[in-house]
């Protein structure tokens, strides 16, 4: 092939690749507009997400959790992760069936009914969307969009309707394939302290993998 034809063909390939990449970014952004919006707020709009240690005031704002064996925890609570701008109701008493869980994710984040409540001894699991299509009806379609930005050592809390508050400290985060066995999951399941796992789809816009953020209750 003559040099000028070779260069022309190469230019066409580069142009096609560029158009494809730009189109992909635009389509991904439109289909995951909530995720894009959450990231814009995170990086561009100071003040919409609390970045300081807002947990410092909890002991004066709310009564700390007492002995829950003497007073059962209610079935209404909120998950608050100031670092990520998350303040969502936790939906309890949902049958552990995919259709039921998916339906109730429109109302907040869902407590996996086969696990203990957040704050109790053992491991609690809370599920939430990382992204949803623009036509998704619920307002919590991207509640866990920024979950991957939570770092070890950072704290958040669960506040129940009766005022009892449990503070958790993030320890680690793992990304795994839900269709295969993963030894790291078995390790999390063996936790012998009050623990909370926040679970969502990963990467954003897909359901190929899951991200699990593991945190332990703080007793300070």
| Tens-digit pLDDT profile for residues 59-80 | 434 445 555 666 889 999 999 9
| Spatial distance between the Cα atoms of 206 and 201, rounded to a whole number of angstroms | 7
User: Is the pLDDT assigned to residue 163 strictly greater than 70?
Assistant: yes
Residue with tokens 């000028």: 4
**Cβ–Cβ under 8 Å, residues 81 and 170:** no
Residue 91 confidence (pLDDT): 98
User: Is the pLDDT assigned to residue 90 strictly greater than 70?
Assistant: yes
Q: Which CATH number fits domain 32-217: 2.20.25.240, 2.40.260.10, 3.40.50.720, 3.90.1310.10?
A: 2.40.260.10
Pairing outcome for strands 165-176 and 155-160: antiparallel
User: Is the pLDDT assigned to residue 51 strictly greater than 50?
Assistant: no
User: What is the separation of C-alpha 211 from the centre of its chain, rounded to a whole number of angstroms?
Assistant: 8
User: Is the pLDDT assigned to residue 136 strictly greater than 50?
Assistant: yes
Residue 185 confidence (pLDDT): 79
Listed range (13-17, 71-75, 83-87, 155-159) with the worst mean pLDDT: 13-17
């Amino acid at each position: 092939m003559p040099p000028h034809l070779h260069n022309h063909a190469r230019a066409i390939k580069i142009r096609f690749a560029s158009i494809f990449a730009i189109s992909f970014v635009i389509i991904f952004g439109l289909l995951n507009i909530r995720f894009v919006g959450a990231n814009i707020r995170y990086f561009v709009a100071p003040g919409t997400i609390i970045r300081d240690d807002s947990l410092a005031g909890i002991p004066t704002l709310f009564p700390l959790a007492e002995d829950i064996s003497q007073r059962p925890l209610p079935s209404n609570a909120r998950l608050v992760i100031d670092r990520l701008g998350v303040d969502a109701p936790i939906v309890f008493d949902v049958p552990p069936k995919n259709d039921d869980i998916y339906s109730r994710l429109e109302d907040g984040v869902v407590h996996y009914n086969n696990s203990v409540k957040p704050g109790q001894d053992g491991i609690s699991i809370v599920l939430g969307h990382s992204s949803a299509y623009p036509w998704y009806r619920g307002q919590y379609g991207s509640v866990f969009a920024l979950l991957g930005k939570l770092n070890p050592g950072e704290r958040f809390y669960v506040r129940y309707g009766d005022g009892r508050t449990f503070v958790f400290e993030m320890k680690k985060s793992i990304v795994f394939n839900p269709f295969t066995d993963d030894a790291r999951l078995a390790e999390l399941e063996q936790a012998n302290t009050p623990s909370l796992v926040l679970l969502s789809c990963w990467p954003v816009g897909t359901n190929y993998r899951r991200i699990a953020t593991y945190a332990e209750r703080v007793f300070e």
